[in-house]
Chains A and B, each alone.
With several copies, the nearest count.
Chain A
Amino acid sequence: MTPTVETINLEIPCASDFVGVVRLAVSGIATRMNFSIEEIEDIKIAVSEACTNSVQYAYEDKSQGRVYITCNLYKEKLEIIVEDHGKGFDMSEVEAIKANKEGEPMGDERSSLGLGMTFIKSLMDVADFNSTKGKGTSVRMAKHI
């Protein structure tokens, strides 16, 4: 009985240093799965955006926070889930703010453009966002080979 899916788990501290490490690991996985160079670049950006959001927004006390990355390798697709157990957010609230200030800097971070989730959606074939205030956020994304 060979499994139809192979799983790789990665868990990093809530620190900007390690987003690049996730990117490296994921690009290695995508290379092994024979994605094209362009697709690999797309996947790298998408997974980075999700990790960056968890690192930036999820935890009040970053020193205790962890970010969990799960890569599920199917025959025909790569699925990546990025999760945190942070403060979560109200998706409809964020959408409303974005609609109001299109292209304007938003949020606490002055240099943030509100592009993170947009990139994930536009670069991947599947992008599901799940966030519960007080519980955390989970982003499930997938790209077909």
Chain B
Amino acid sequence: MPLDFKITTSETNSVPVISVDGEIDIYTSPRLTESIGSAMANHPKAVVLNLENVHYIDSTGLGAIALSAENLSTQGGRLNVVCTKPQLVKIFEVSGLNQKNVNIYDIEAEAVKNT
């Protein structure tokens, strides 16, 4: 169904990996912020956010990601985002987020390795 939304959290080499399925907008982004927040509770060096199954994001979603990235960097960590969809990459570029503390990767393994 079009508006279904799901977040799953797993761990690879002690790096928390958050995978999102669905659309990130004003309604769903609070759940994303919350999930990243929980992952940060153990003070990891980094959190990987996998957006391969996200087919939509807007400024609200970017805002949530930017805020989480800021919080992470405050405690010395970084946010690595896995994102391949051209439409999403374009939005990240327009926002300028990828030039700040959000790092974009094509492949989850790369995002995990670079933590």
Contacts and interface: CB of A to CB of B under 8 A. Distances in A.
B91 interface: yes
A134 interface: no
Contact of B56 (A17, A23, A105, A112): A23
Contact of B26 (A31, A52, A115, A122): A52
B4 A31 contact: yes
A83 B50 CA distance: 35
A78 to B, nearest CB: 14
A48 B3 contact: no
B66 A111 contact: yes
Q: Is the interface of A mostly helix, strand, loop or mixed?
A: helix
B60 A52 contact: yes
A45 B3 contact: no
B3 to A, nearest CB: 4
Contacts of B58: 45, 48-49, 52, 119
Nearest to B4: A31
B3 A105 contact: no
Interface string B53-78: 00010111011101100000000000
Interface of B: 1-4, 23, 25-27, 29, 33, 56, 58-60, 62-64, 66-67, 87, 91, 94-96, 100
